Structures are given as C-alpha cells and as structure tokens.
Amino acid sequence: MTSILPSIQIAMIRYGMTTYLALGNIGNFLALLIFSNKNHRRNPCSVYLGVGSLFNILGINLGIIPLVYALDHPDPLPLSLSLCKWRQYALHAILMIDRILIVFACFDRFAVSSSRPSIRRWSNIKLARWSTIAIILFWFIICIHILVYQDIQHGSCGMFGTYSLIFSIYSIFIIGLIPPLLMLIFGILTMRNLKQIHTTQVHLHQRDRQFLAILAAEVIVYLTCTALNPITIRSEQVGSIPRPIELIAAQHMYPCDTTNRNELKALQVKAIRSTIEELERTGSKIITDGEQTKSSFLTYPICGLKNEYYAFSSKYFALTFSNGHRRSLPHLIKSPFRYTTYAHVYVDEAKKYTNLPIKQAIIAPSALSMVYPQETIPNYTREQFLNDLINEAEIDVRKCFTSGAHSVQLDFSEARFSLKVDPTGRLLQEFVQINNRLLNRFESNLRHRLGVHVCAGCDKGCYHSIDVNYLLLLPEIFDLKVGNFFLQFSSETSNRHEILSCIRDSIQPWQRVFIGVTDPLKPKVETPEEVCEQVLEAAEYIPIEQLGTTDDCGFSPFDDDQSVSRQIAFEKIRARIQGTKLAEEKLNKKQSIQRTELDTIICQN
C-alpha cells in the first residue's frame, strides 16, 4: 500500500500519454485519408483541415514523446541547448500553424454560407492552397525569436528574464485571445448566414454542411482547451500564531489548565475566535486555530501527566537554540506511555468559528520517542514504549480526521536538529523510521491529506539548527510516506539553487512541496513582490502542480514566546497570500504557451 498511489499515477502518465499519442496519430491519419479523397480535396475547407491534420501529427509526436521518454530517462531538453531551442521553436510554430488554419477554415465556412456572391468568391481552392503555404512560411519565420532567446538556466529549459515577460504578453494575444476571438466571430457570422439560407433560395451542398459540422466541433474543442486549466498555487500556514498577552499570562498562572478553568477558557475562546477571524481576513483558504491553547507544539499530548509520569533532567533530550536557551523534554519514569490530550479537541473548537477547511498540526512521534530514558524502565522495554507511542499517535491523527480536519501535519522540527546532535545521520534515520511506522498505518487516500513540517526551529527570536547543512537533511525527509511537505526556505541564504534541485530530484509525482516564503524571525514584513520572486524561483525547479507556499516556521510554537507580535504574523501571512496570487498571475502568463500547446495537442487529437 505504501507505493501503490505513486505507482498508479506514474502508470497513468505513462499509459495515458501513450494512449493519446496512439489515438491522436490514428485519428489524424484517418482525417488525412478523408480530406485527401478525390471527392473532398477540391473543397477549400478540406485543404485547411487536411494540412492541419498533418501538422497535428507532427505536433502530437513532438509534444508528447519527450514527456513520456522523460519518465524513465533523464530529460534531454535541459542537457542540450540546441535541442531545447529547436524543439520549442518547432512545436510552437507547428501548433500556431494548426490554429491559424482552423481560423481560415472558419472564414471559408463563413464565405461559402454567405448569400452574397462577392463574399462566396473568397471560398476557392486556389486561395486555400496559397493561403496555406503563406501561413506555414509566416509562422516558421515569425517564431525564429524562440531560437534566439530560448535558454537553459538552473537545469531548466525555458524562457527567462525580460524575454519571458514579452513572450507571456505575446502568448496572451497570439494564443489565448486572437485565434479564439476570430473563430467565434466567424462562427457567429456563419450561424447568421445559415439562418438567412432558410429564408432564401441559396442552398449549401451536403459536403459543405458536413465540413461545417466538423469545423464547429474543432472550434468548440479549441475554445474549451484554451480556457481551461489556469495555474493555481496552494498556500497554507504551518500552524502557530502568537498568543495575546493576557492569554500568555493566564496560561502560565494556571499550568496545564488545572485551576480557575472558566477564566482561562474564556480567554482561550476569545483568542481562537480572534485568530480565525484575522486569518480569514488575510485571504487564507485553509486555516488553523493558531495553536492558541497548546502549551507547546512539542508536549501538548503529555502535559497533564508531567508530575506523575515524567521528570526533568538536564542530561536528557533538549532543543538548544543559538542564543543559549533550551526547550527540554521530560523523561518517562513510569509505564505505560499514553496521551492525555488528543489534537482533535482543537479541531472541534475551531469548527465553531469558521466554515473554512481546518488544518491541524500534531507532534511527530519521533520527537516524543526521546522521552524514553537512556536506561530501561523496569518491565517496559523501549520497543513496548514505541508500540504504545505509535498507537497513541495513530489515534491522534484519526481523531483529527474524524472531527473533520481537512489535513493533518506532523511537526518534525527535531529532524534538522538531530544532525547537530548526531552528524552521522543515524539519529535522523531512526526518526524517519519511527514516523514511517505511524504513516504506514494509513490508507493512501488519508496519506494524501497528511503532511510533515521541517524547519530549523523558531523560538524567542532565534533558530536551533540553521547552521546545519539543509542538503544533508532533505533526501532523508522525502523518505517519509506523506503527500505534503512544508519546508523552510525563505531564511536559507546560501545553496538555494542546490536546495531546490534536491527537492526536484527527491519529490514523487503524488507529493506536493510547500516552500517557506516568509521568515517569522525577521521583524520586517515581506512584500508581495518579494514573496512572488521566491515562488517564481522555486517554480523553475518544482512542477507547478506540486508547488505550494507556506511560512518558514510557526510564529509561536511555545506559549511563552513573545518575540513576534500577532500583527506582524498576520501581515506576513497576508503578504504570503498576495504574493502567491501575484506569482500565479505571472506564471499563467509565462506558461500559457506551454499549457495551451499541450492542451491543444491532447484536445485536437
């Protein structure tokens, strides 16, 4: 079950595209036979559609064969500049020729259906042949700019810089606006002519009516394919939002919520409601409760057992931050291991104040695995403990989904820190194995809704492991059996291209990567333009359909952290949402040609 979903998706890509290729070639060859038949080849519309079928054969093979080939082999396009240039040049010219031939066919049907002899004269075989030759020459000349400016950058074959912007504008008009508009205009005029035919003595030949029906179908398909599939990029927060000052004071006055419950509950409800309302105002489509009532992202499941089941000691596991402060885990002194708080209670409360989908963050079992002491607990082995831990973590996840959570995220902040504790990577591998023991218990449909968050820690204005080489961490992280990865990126000041390349090489077809585009530790709020630049940078490496945006870390993972204000947190989230939308707009312009061409290849065949 662990690999069935990616296997199915890879098979769909391979065999689906291959099927399109086979059926497209067969359909176009049959169309060529029909249009070249002696009964049809003297018809002007047959010339346009017949030559269009020929160029469709070229386009479908040139467009799809490299995609299928790249499934099992290194993509040759980023490896050869000449191949990169000539393939894009030929594909664009071929598909533009086919589009314009359809426009001319539409004009021919308008002319032949007209009641005015002066207009009907425009529908003739000689004009069709010369027009076809002119169209072919025109587009192979016009598209030469692609040979000049198409380039390879950062391992990607594409269009970059100012040329990318110019080509995007060109694509909007030449691909997305002018051909469909002309088809629509001539289609409306033809329909008007047909209505007039019913009231006059002018009659269309049966063959002309058949060509009109064929052309109408082609126009409808083209318009549909051109209008569909805009690029969208999901954007989600990690989880925590800074608590109001009065709530922080109350929670520390009443540790673990043991006294004066009503007063504390009122402050918590107020904070949750306010947080959700603010998140909705940022434009967020998927929200959290901001972890307003958690004592910390790390220990919320065991908070109520600290005095009876746990003890603190400096010799056990602790996250040590760059300014010297520590966040220590207690160590277990009594069996069995169990949770007192499951995260579904946060989902249940948040649902009262929003109709938006709710994402719930939980602690990864790898973090809680460190509460087991170095010495063995009597009559309770480490393996028994791990079984209890995984059972409790599974209950935690399933209860969240049962309560209506849209998605569940495992907080795995200790992953990067583990390489600081153990540079050999053995501790990190152990963490990954523990988390996969949990993840392997879930069906593929739920695993698709599970995610993992990895960062360098974020607490009281500093990190705990930003100095650890990210490239040593990422390959191991992608061994986790989840559908979504929320990865710190904005605060990475070096090796950014190498990081994105590593993500590109590690991600599976069924997974999505949310890259961090805001840094919670920086007091300066990022502008939407700065966010957009980071998204465009990532889009050069990560497939758009697998790309999302997030924040580098939660803004306040521990309930006493006041290093970031609530206002700044919400402003950063708003900038992330706006910057992601800005990137969507630019990518829709930039990639309209590639998307339209692939859609056209598929739809026209």
**CATH, residue 116:** 1.20.1070.10
pLDDT at 7 over 70: no
| Count of C-beta atoms within a 10 Å radius of residue 12 | 12
Strands in 359-363's sheet, in edge-to-edge order, are 234-235, 547-550, 512-516, 484-487, 450-454, 407-411, 359-363
Is residue 603, in this structure, part of any structural domain at all?
no
pTM beyond 0.85: no
Same domain, 448 and 314: yes
* Within-domain flag for 598: no
Q: Is the pLDDT of residue 124 over 80?
A: yes
pLDDT band at 227 (very low <50, low <70, confident <90, very high): low
Q: Quick check: is 8 in a domain?
A: yes
- 206 and 103 share a domain? yes
Q: Across the strands, what pairs with 462?
A: 459
Which CATH number fits the domain that encloses residue 558? 3.20.20.210
Domain boundary residue, one of 187, 205, 228: 228
Question: Does the residue 14 lie in any domain?
Answer: yes
Within a domain: residue 44?
A: yes
Q: Residue 591 pLDDT > 70, yes or no? A: no
Residues 70-85, mean pLDDT to the nearest whole number = 81
Residues 246 and 378 in one domain: yes
Specify the number of domains making up the chain. Answer: 2
Measured from the Cβ of residue 191, the count of other Cβ atoms closer than 10 Å reads 14
Task: Tell me, yes or no, whether 266 and 283 share the same domain.
Answer: yes
What is the average per-residue pLDDT within 153-164?
Answer: 75
- Closest of 1, 2, 38 to residue 480, by C-alpha: 2
| Average pLDDT across the chain, whole number | 85
185/242 same-domain check: no
224 and 245 inside one domain: no
Residue 441 is assigned to a structural domain of this protein = yes
Q: Which domain holds residue 220?
A: 4-228
| C-alpha of 541 from chain center | 12
Q: Is 384 exposed, middle or buried (0-12, 13-18, 19+ CB in 10 A)?
A: middle
Task: Report pLDDT for 60.
Answer: 87
CA dihedral 178, 179, 185, 189 (to 10 degrees): 150
| Pair 396, 544 in one domain | yes
Shared domain for 88 and 169, answered yes or no, is yes
Give the pLDDT confidence score for residue 603 in this predicted structure: 47
Is the same domain home to 338 and 202? no
Same domain, yes or no, for 218 and 246?
A: no
Does any domain span residue 340?
A: yes
